[in-house]
């Protein structure tokens, strides 16, 4: 069993999603069975990932060759510290989103839980694969599931957002294939580690073609990550999705960010000769502009869901700034911040839904409306989430932004990173303060008792699971930062993957 651990986090949601389509789970009236089954699946996914994390921490990165076809020709799953921590984050986020959905969202469509499992499979596979074509395949799996999840529950707004989302991602998928064909034509491989060995030996003509492929990949990953100017789809899409779906979508932008970290550190890193740091002239201005546009969007958001979506864009820009510094220390800081921002932004989507259900037709819009039924509970949850995501102590956002600021060692890095992050944090506090004041203090009249929408224990448990993670990764901050530091070191150490995959050129 231990030999198959790298593929188990993919197989569990795949087989589980298929089983949920069969008796005794199929049918609207079988929702209790589905809830029990999906809870067991999520716990199995997290358990398998924890075992994989233990194995990686003891033995180092682990390779799994599907069908025993070895690299660079076979389908390779590669579990290193970075991939494993992101898979664990995905499983944890999926569990919290699923618990929240037990409050009633999952009864709005009979295929909700199978689709969530297929979504988890696609995201997990994208983190564990070490081949660009397989990355494309897993991208398509998670996107197809997300198309159906986005319109879960129905409605004109969801349908409109889904049309734009589908068209945009179809274009992105086409560009992805063009990029893969370009890179395969020049290097003769799509295995990431193998490509890193061959990229420096290309002829000048091949380098031009490979550079074009690299820039196409940046467009694809930038679209998935919602990097400026490819960010415009995210606020409408995330705001239109049902709350547990939007919460799970918080990890989807990180798949694009992960692609940038993995490909442009391993393939187009320091060893790539003339193609080293090929996107560096672009990534600095784009990351800063992404933070800026996300901050402006947060200030201008008309409702809490839109504010949360723009905070996701800010987090993407911040992560890209950590990448742009191009040091293991900055990457480690970025990985810590990635964990924090994913958990808290997901919690904010869930909180927005709970608030909106208790404000009548005003929902979560920043307008004067009836008083929420549970102001103390929802106000406390919102306050904790706002403090954490804005980067105020003692929450994880403060630690995440602090380590990124500390990783900016040179004068030029400090000149760009410090003012952008600090000003964005200040303006985010302003936006969140306005939101809290309007939602909880500015109200007209009392709520009609016949229209009560008290949050369920399932919904509270899902939100608490995400919010409690913030103080936990602060209390165990040394352990978490040590692990993210190990992940960053192995990402920047190209010889590790080459040796584990036993590629030609590996050092004994």
pLDDT in single tens digits along all 508 residues of the chain: 567 888 999 999 999 999 988 887 776 567 788 889 999 999 999 999 999 999 999 888 898 888 778 777 778 889 999 999 999 999 999 999 999 999 888 888 788 899 999 999 999 999 999 899 999 999 999 999 999 998 887 777 788 888 888 999 999 999 999 999 999 999 988 999 889 888 988 888 899 999 999 999 999 999 999 998 888 888 888 888 899 999 999 999 999 999 999 999 999 988 888 898 889 889 999 999 999 999 999 999 999 999 999 999 999 999 999 999 989 999 999 999 999 999 999 999 999 999 988 887 888 888 887 888 888 899 999 999 999 999 888 899 999 999 999 998 887 888 889 999 999 999 999 999 999 999 888 777 665 554 457 888 999 999 999 999 999 999 998 999 999 999 999 998 887 777 777 666 544 4
With a CB cutoff of 8 Å and minimum separation 6, the contacts of 188 are 198
Are the C-beta atoms of 501 and 130 separated by less than 8 Å?
A: yes
Distance CA 460, CA 134 (A): 37
> 443 - beta bridge partners?
369
Q: Would you state the structure tokens that stand for residue 381, as one six-digit string? A: 């949850």
What is the DSSP code string of 290-305? Answer: HHHHHHHHHHH-SBHH
Q: Would you state the structure tokens that stand for residue 430, as one six-digit string? A: 């302003």
Specify the long-range contacts of residues 473-482, CB closer than 8 Å, at least 24 apart. 473/336, 473/339, 473/340, 473/396, 473/399, 474/394, 474/395, 474/396, 474/399, 477/399, 480/336, 480/339, 481/332, 481/336, 481/403
DSSP category for residue 212: H
Distance CA 346, CA 251 (A): 8
Smallest CA-to-CA distance from 298 within 420, 157, 432, 398 is with 432
Distance CA 333, CA 489 (A): 12
Angle value at C-alpha 403, between 348 and 82, nearest 5 degrees = 75
List helix spans (H) across 226-372: 233-240, 243-249, 252-266, 280-300, 304-325, 328-357
Which sequence spans correspond to the domains of the chain?
279-475
With a CB cutoff of 8 Å and minimum separation 6, the contacts of 344 are 385, 388, 389, 396, 397, 466, 467, 470
């Amino acid at each position: 069993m231990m030999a198959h651990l790298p593929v188990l986090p993919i197989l569990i949601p795949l087989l589980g999603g298929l089983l949920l389509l069969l008796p005794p789970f199929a049918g609207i009236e079988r929702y209790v069975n589905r809830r029990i089954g999906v809870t067991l699946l999520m716990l199995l996914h997290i358990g398998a990932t924890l075992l994989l994390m233990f194995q990686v921490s003891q033995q180092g990165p682990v390779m799994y060759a599907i069908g025993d076809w070895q690299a660079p020709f076979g389908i390779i799953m590669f579990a290193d510290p970075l991939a494993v921590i992101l898979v664990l984050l995905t499983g944890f986020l999926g569990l919290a989103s699923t618990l929240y959905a037990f409050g009633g969202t999952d009864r709005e469509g009979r295929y909700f839980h199978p689709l969530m499992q297929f979504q988890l499979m696609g995201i997990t596979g994208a983190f564990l694969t070490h081949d660009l074509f397989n990355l494309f395949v897993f991208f398509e799996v998670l996107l197809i599931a997300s198309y159906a999840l986005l319109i879960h529950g129905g409605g004109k707004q969801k349908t409109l957002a889904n049309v734009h989302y589908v068209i945009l991602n179809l274009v992105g998928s086409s560009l992805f294939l063009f990029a893969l064909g370009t890179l395969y034509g020049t290097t003769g491989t799509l295995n990431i580690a193998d490509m890193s060995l061959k990229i420096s030996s290309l002829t000048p003509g091949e380098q031009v073609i490979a550079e074009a492929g690299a820039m196409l990949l940046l467009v694809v990953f930038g679209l998935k990550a919602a990097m400026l100017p490819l960010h415009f789809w995210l606020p409408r899409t995330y705001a239109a999705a049902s709350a547990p779906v939007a919460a799970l979508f918080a990890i989807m932008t990180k798949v694009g960010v992960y692609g940038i970290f993995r490909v442009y550190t391993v393939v187009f890193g320091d060893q790539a000769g003339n193609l080293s740091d090929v996107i560096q002239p672009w990534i600095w201005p784009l990351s800063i502009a992404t933070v800026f546009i996300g901050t402006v969007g947060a200030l201008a958001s008309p409702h809490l869901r839109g504010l949360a979506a723009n905070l996701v864009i800010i987090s993407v820009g911040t992560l890209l700034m950590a990448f742009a510094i191009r040091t293991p220390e900055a990457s480690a800081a970025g990985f810590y911040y990635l964990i924090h921002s994913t958990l808290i932004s997901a919690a904010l989507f869930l909180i927005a839904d709970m608030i909106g259900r208790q404000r009548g037709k005003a929902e979560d819009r920043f307008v004067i409306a009836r008083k929420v039924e549970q102001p103390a509970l929802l106000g406390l949850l919102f306050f904790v989430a706002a403090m954490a995501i804005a980067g105020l102590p003692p929450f994880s956002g403060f630690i995440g932004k602090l380590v990124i600021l500390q990783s900016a060692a040179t004068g030029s890095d400090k000149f760009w990173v410090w003012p952008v992050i600090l000003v964005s944090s200040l303006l985010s506090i302003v936006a969140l303060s306005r939101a809290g004041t309007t939602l909880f203090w500015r109200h007209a009249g009392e709520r009609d008792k016949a229209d009560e929408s008290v949050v369920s224990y399932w919904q509270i448990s899902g939100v608490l699971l995400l919010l409690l993670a913030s103080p936990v990764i602060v209390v165990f901050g040394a352990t978490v930062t040590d692990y993210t530091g190990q992940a960053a070191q192995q990402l920047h150490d190209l010889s590790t993957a080459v040796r584990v995959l036993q590629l030609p050129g590996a050092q004994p």
